Amino acid sequence: MDTKGTALAGRTALITGASRGIGRAMAITFADQGANVVVTARSAETLAEVVDLIASNGGRACAVAADVMHEDSAARVVESALAEYGRLDILVNNAGGNSFISPLGTMRFAGWQKVFALNLDSTVRMIQAALPALVASGNGSIINVSSVTGLRGSPLMSHYGAAKAAVISLTQSLAIEVAADGVRANALVPGWIETDLTEFLRADEGLEDAAIGRVPMQRWGTTDEIAQAALFLASDASSFMTGQALVVDGGLSAQP
Ligand SMILES: NC(=O)c1ccc[n+]([C@@H]2O[C@H](COP(=O)([O-])OP(=O)(O)OC[C@H]3O[C@@H](n4cnc5c(N)ncnc54)[C@H](OP(=O)(O)O)[C@@H]3O)[C@@H](O)[C@H]2O)c1
């Protein structure tokens, strides 16, 4: 299938967590649609592979290694994007994840804070750093990656679920605040997607059955399926859509 197009021609997209998984798929998809793509994550080596792959497909990309947990990263990454391409039209706050489970009653507070810093605080910092450039674009689009765990109770993952729920809420508030400035903001809400983040579930048949057994479509989602939804939110195909949470989960959250 020819995946090339011009939906994002002339636009620059900045994607956090773009070295692997969902962010990597978004970077490749956006570049295939003509965007200049700035990929960021901690691993410079893995980012370089993504940039090389995009270049070998005839696209344009550059990498900025940064840890979104560091306070000064957002400003540095946005400055690098503007220095390279002179404009910023699309911001995808995708870096995130969760590395532990625990009942809330006995959860170490440091763990709670770490997950909020990675999934929520980093999103706020990136938005604040990028907003002036997105307003200047005249057609800015912000995509904040949430999770179905943020839509309802997520036992043993209250920290992750609460952070991802907050991502949806701040997206709604932000969308209202910046609509008159020509910037749209939407949340993208994946269900179970086959990436490194969910490898521990596939490594245990019981855990995998428990997770995927509840998905009406009875399978893992692919990173490309999330990237296509991100492309929709980034492009003019969604030009009258802002403040929404687009769920891509094989029907998981439709269940009672
Ligand atoms: N997979 C799922 O089932 C699923 C479901 C719902 C929501 N999500 C959300 O989708 C997003 C992407 O998840 P994924 O499954 O693609 O995860 P992944 O495969 O673990 O990839 C995570 C990406 O984020 C980067 N990253 C992690 N910590 C970072 C940090 N401190 N600073 C900068 N970059 C960092 C990683 O690169 P480095 O390690 O090199 O930094 C990598 O590029 C996350 O927000 C996740 O919460 C995933």
Q: Whose CA is nearest to atom 22 of ligand 1?
A: 17
Q: What is the mean pLDDT of each run of 10 residues along the chain (256 residues)?
A: 87 98 98 98 98 98 98 97 98 98 98 98 98 98 99 97 98 98 99 97 95 97 98 98 99 95
CATH architecture of the domain formed by 12-247: 3-Layer(aba) Sandwich (3.40)
Please state the atom number of ligand 1 nearest to the C-alpha of residue 41.
Answer: 34
Pocket of ligand 1 (CB under 6 A): 16-23, 41-43, 46, 67-69, 94-97, 118, 145, 147, 190, 192-193, 195-198
Say what the pLDDT of residue 1 is: 52
Please state the atom number of ligand 1 nearest to the C-alpha of residue 97.
Answer: 47
d(CA 129, CA 76): 9
Say what the pLDDT of residue 3 is: 82
d(CA 228, CA 29): 7
